[in-house]
Amino acid sequence: MAVDGDGTVGGGDSQPPVTTAAATTEMAIARLSRFPNMEHISDNYDDLKLEFTSSVLRSLEKYLPPAMLTANREAKAKFMSDILRKYISREECSKANWRKNYWQRIKSNYQPLCRELYNFDPELFLLPSFRKAISDNTEESFRRIISEPFPGVFVFQMFQPDFFQKLIVEVDNFGKWAHEKKFQIRRPYHMSKYGVVLDDFGLDIMLKKLMEDFIYPICKVFFPEECGTMFDSHHGFIIENGEDRDAPLDHHFDDSEITLNVCVRKQFEGGEISFIGTRCVKHMRTNIKPEEVFHYCHTPGQAILHRGRHRHGPRATTNSCSRANMILCCRNSLFREMETYEKEFPEWCGQCAHEKKEKESQSLAAKRKEMIRIEGGGKER
């Protein structure tokens, strides 16, 4: 018995298997296109019993080769699932199935209170000045409504007051429903007992629209490296901190390329946000430098936009400060892939920039020393 070059059991001296035309066609299209077909409208796979969620398949469908785009849903779902299995472990598939069943239970039983949020209308919920700036889509128009109190930290107003009222009512309603039904809901992070993941009860559509149509244009100007040509996923949630709510997190990085942090409500003074330096993966544990520390008083209605790698955390100036914030983590998988190959990020990583300056200073000092040596040698002659 012989083993073929691909590791499969072969037939020794027997002739190689004949490849049919159909098999050749299948092999030729068993890969995704390099660029998405943005004009293609993806199918909905919610009603099919699949191991991957409909949202994943809908996103991936735009990358199907032209020959597969016109196939029926079942054929496309099988094609994409076969590809995904090559890269996603069984454990990850199991988690995806759990999330799908979890979302389906909520969708089937939870009755939204403020349906306007789910059919997000920018004219109802966004300020005219903000919409105008996005429509003009220039750095000058953004600078008119956005301040930058510290490098890489952008502050602006974007929502109408009515948006916050309806969001709070909806979040409270979802929490009440979960309590009455004894339904255990996901929390934004493992230590949270009061936070709510907005994506889980239908507000993912609203957040996706916010990210793609309103946050991305700003990021393209101020954070071009991190946002690239598009954000391809997000994570949105509400956190509540205070005496009878979750304790504030210590200083941390976000699992995002760019984070939108909106103060939904705050009681009493205090509760500043501290920013303490931007770091790439390589330098995440390096020390803080005094010039990197910045404290900002986050007031209700204000939005703060910053890098996920900008270390930050609450700085409580009073013990009685209570606040609720909406967090939208915007992600770009291409940037994350790029980070595995790039060695330095001096444009935004504080430590990379520091090391670059050190190298330049050392190089300059070495050149000066060499010039002095050469000049000294010439005088001796």
pLDDT at residue 61, rounded to an integer: 93
- Dihedral sign of CA atoms 53, 55, 59, 64 in order: positive
Q: Mean of the per-residue pLDDT values for the chain?
A: 85
Identity at 33, one-letter amino acid code: S
Tens of pLDDT, residues 131-175: 999 999 999 999 999 999 999 999 999 999 999 999 999 999 999
Distance CA 19, CA 67 (A): 20
Number of H-type helices and E-type strands within the chain: 15, 10
Q: What is the pLDDT of residue 314?
A: 80
Closest by CA position to 325, among listed 133, 171, 214, 103: 171
In tens, the pLDDT along 288-314 reads 889 999 999 998 999 999 999 999 988
Per-residue pLDDT of 241-282, as tens digits, reads 887 888 888 889 999 999 999 999 876 666 689 999 999 888
Report pLDDT digits (tens) over 68-96. 999 999 999 999 988 888 877 778 778 87
pTM above 0.85, yes or no: no
Q: Would you state the structure tokens that stand for residue 227, as one six-digit string?
A: 């946002």
Which burial class, exposed, middle or buried, applies to 377 when counting CB atoms under 10 A from its CB (0-12, 13-18, 19+)?
exposed
